[in-house]
A and B are shown apart, each in its own frame.
Chain A
Amino acid sequence: MSKELIELKNISKSYDGQLVLDDLNLVIHENEFLTLLGPSGCGKTTTLRIIGGFETPDQGQVIFDGQDITSLAPNKRQLNTVFQKYALFTHMDIAENIAFGLRIKNKTDQYIRDKISYALKLVNLEGFEHRMPDSLSGGQQQRIAIARAIVNEPKVLLLDEPLGALDLKLRQDMQYELIRLKKELGITFIYVTHDQEEALTMSDHIVVMNQGYIQQEGTPEDIYNEPENAFVADFIGDSNIITAVMVRDELVRILDVEFPCVDKGFGNEKPVDVVIRPEDVELVKRGEGRIPGVVTHIIFKGVHYEMEVQAGGFEWLVHSTREFPVGTEVDIRVDPFNIQVMNKPASEDEQAIGVEE
């Protein structure tokens, strides 16, 4: 792993007596594409603003390159931000917008000109120097906001839901643009989004947050395949989350049926949650699987069929390339390594969304 660049130590922050971040710890490495992922209101923006210097934490420290910058003014920090709503300077043209930071640093005119054309090229908006921000589309404005930030050669670029206001197609294009930019610039991106697909697509490292706590950290694969709790599992994608009992190591009882699995160390006869991804549920002929059931719903989704199967008193979500018409009697089978066993939620924020207990 490369060198540590930013460290958040025991950060707490509350607004009007309401705790928004609770003892948050996070390490960000050089050259990483790190994404803060979580539902709206979970404290992502607040975390980003603390890194950017726009908010001061009530407790804790922000370490940048070994220096404590907790109370350093934003204009003194070696990082730049791409704001959620672009925040372009409407009364300046594009060139002036991009040159803003460079002029403050007293760069020569030649240098500034070169930087402007380099940046516009980088974001594929050559020739836009003398347009006014209002005359640009949302996607173009967003790219100018990025150009304006990167000409300052920050060590870190902070992006707060930069694609949130764009339509789906544009958003996908911009995702690839950003990945390319990141590679070309070779700097650290800290990216905020509530869109799990976006996070999985772009990031090297994902931090899943809920209600001011970090739920899980890891590569997109870790997060997707091995969610540590019901919240992560649910947030990262549609899943079957079922209450179960760990009989002993490598054997779990799901809906009163025993399944072999690969997890160990949960103890004996211990209540747990299991997560089974819809694409990991196999539908087989009656008698060939473990739990008998009936198909109650089917929708064609393009790549696969999405079905609901009533089996063992639970409504299973199943993705399959094979079609099983409504009413088909089937059995459900799951491979041991596709059963993800998790501890029961220790607190409210670890619960799956919408579950009340």
Chain B
Amino acid sequence: MNNRIRPIEKIYMAVIFLFMYAPIVTLIVLSFNRSKSRSKWGGFTMQWYLNLIHDHEVLNAMANTLIIALIATVVSTLIGTAASVAMTGMKRRMRSLIIGVTNIPMINADIVTGISLMLLFKVLHFDAGFVTVLIAHITFDIPFVMLSVLPRLKTISPSVYEAALDLGAEPFFAFRKTILPDLAPAIISGALMAFTMSIDDFIITYFTKGSGFDTLSTKIYSEVKRGIRPEIYALSAIIFVAVLILLFASDRMKARSARRTGVVKKGMNAKLKTYGAVAGIAVASILIIAMALVYGGVFSKNSDQVFVYNAGEYIDPEVIELFQEETGIEVVYDEFESNEIMYAKIASDGAAYDVLCPSDYMIAKLIDNDMLMKLDRSAIPNAYEYIGKQYYESATAFDPANEYAVPYCWGTVGILYNRNLVNGPVDSWDILWDPAYKGEILMQDSIRDAFMVALARRGYSINTTDPAEIDTATADLIAQAPLVQAYVIDQVRDKMIGNEAALGVIYSGEAIYTKRENADLEYVIPKEGSNVWIDAWVISREARNAENALKWIDFLCRPDIALMNFEYITYSTPNIAAQEMIEDEEIRNSAVAFPDEETLNRCDTYISLGEEGDRLYNEAWKKVKSAD
């Protein structure tokens, strides 16, 4: 036999491994990248890993993950093992029926399991949170334990157990002395599997967790709105390695349980290693949980709370700490991925959160559907003293009487260009249709932003619902498609920093950040006008802690706090006092962060298009994308 692998097979294997591991390797490499850009190597750093240790939210989520995983593992291992053992006493038909039933959650799509559990908890009036997630995890862990224990159990002859009984042992003692030692590797393997599944789970956790409670996976997911922080790469890399180790250990256990240990010494050794592995996991978990307790105060429960629902990475975490310290109100803080997801959540449970930070058009929709509470002006003096009048003026587009919303962040959409790659100053959207830049143009992968560019260029309203105007814009976008390198969202920032494109449509907040990383980049709001957007704080009509929500809003309007947030988020603040306090002169006077009145007057906020308008845009967008 020729055992050599032929070159073609080698290549095939290499390609498969490449596909499988390239994403993970990328992630791990990025977790050590000093630059925040995804396309630029800024040197090696451990900074992101170190940052994690001080990130109270991440630690909190990590502690939750581990506590849930540990308890779920212990409970599901006990239940799963007991069930497996009990099943040996059953008739064959009954047994296969039960195996079938317990396996259903395992083959079932996670999303179905998740939604069913969520519905069940709702029906039973369980408050979604730690307990519901724990129950869910135990539920889906049990089959994994049984899957590991049952086959092993089948190979163990019951006569060994009977022999122990025969020699006078009580049933449990007999089980412990005879079946259990043979079963232990399979039980541990099952437990490791359960632990891994628990740590790994996202979907089921997501549906059963409710508000104010996050595990690592849901935490990471909530971070994606504004592009992922490098700390999250580090965290993901850690999870990947941890899961890998666990799976490997579980596999070793299974292999061991398949083998039989002959000599005493070998047996002892295997046992020691087994206990070592388990002890290792336990100790590591306890350490992390302890750390979370020290840094994060995971368990400090307070009846005086406010439930905040904000976009991902849209606040300086220290601001939350300060608020808690100063007011004694506990902040239960959750992040949403998009305005649409936020809307769905509030629509299904208006009392889930007290205070929200949606975008302009979404606020209009919330107001239309009577889902918001009018603000008590006397409770939020800072909001009227420090937020610029012009921003309230702009806000009337979605909140006509300024009754519901207090502006938090705002910005414009414009063109980011690389001075070295583009000739002359850029001042018009037209340049995005210039064949000279074929393959050098990045467009935003979102309906409203893409059409805004085309509509503004023609001088149409960016909120038009005139089919003829939409048709023209559609044709323009299709004509532009061959020139466009890609429709993307976050990558505009990274690609521009990495000199991979000459021109890109981008938000002003991102532009400030990109200029710090690559001095050749310039941001401009074209002369035809553009979109100005405002994200603002509003209070849910069904808020349970409305008073605290008002305190929260007022706190965020304090100039020093607004400044902290501006420096962290880099999106423009509408807080005039904070603007004046910005130390960096270049930024304080930056036309990017704070365009002049004249420029702003050219820009419009998005308003809701209505159902018919949404339909027109969606269809047009489909045409554009299929031409792409």
Contacts and interface: CB of A to CB of B under 8 A. Distances in A.
Contacts of B157: 85, 87
A80 B167 CA distance: 7
A79 B163 CA distance: 12
A53 B169 CA distance: 13
Contact of B165 (A73, A145, A152): A73
Nearest to B162: A54
Contacts of B177: 89, 100
B424 interface: no
Interface string B92-132: 00000000000000000000000000000000000000000
Contacts of B328: none
B168 A101 contact: yes
B445 interface: no
A84 B162 CA distance: 12
A322 B91 CA distance: 58
Contacts of A172: none
A325 B99 CA distance: 66
Given A87-B162, A91-B181, A148 B167 contact: yes
Among B91, B163, B178, B262: residue with most chain A CB under 10 A: B163
What is the interface of chain A mostly: helix, strand, loop, or mixed?
Answer: loop
Interface string A80-119: 1101110111110100000011001100000000000000
Contacts of A152: 167-168
B159 A89 contact: no
B261 interface: yes
A75 interface: yes
Interface of A: 16, 52-54, 73-75, 80-81, 83-85, 87-91, 93, 100-101, 104-105, 130, 132, 134-135, 145, 148-149, 152
B260 A134 contact: yes
B182 A90 contact: yes
Interface in B178-221: 178, 181-182
Contacts of A16: 91
B162 A74 contact: yes
Interface string B139-164: 00000000000000000010110111
Given A75-B166, A148-B167, A87 B264 contact: no
B267 interface: yes
Given A90-B260, A132-B262, A85 B166 contact: no
B263 interface: yes
Given A74-B162, A132-B264, A134-B262, A91 B182 contact: yes
A87 B160 contact: yes
Nearest to B164: A100
B162 A83 contact: yes
Nearest to B268: A91
Residue of B162, B164, B166, B261 most packed against chain A (CB within 10 A): B166
Interface string B238-265: 0000000000000000000000111110
A91 B261 contact: yes
Contacts of B164: 89, 100
Nearest to A130: B264
A51 to B, nearest CB: 11
A84 B171 CA distance: 21
A80 B162 CA distance: 11
B168 to A, nearest CB: 4
A83 B166 CA distance: 10
Contacts of B173: 104
A87 B165 CA distance: 12
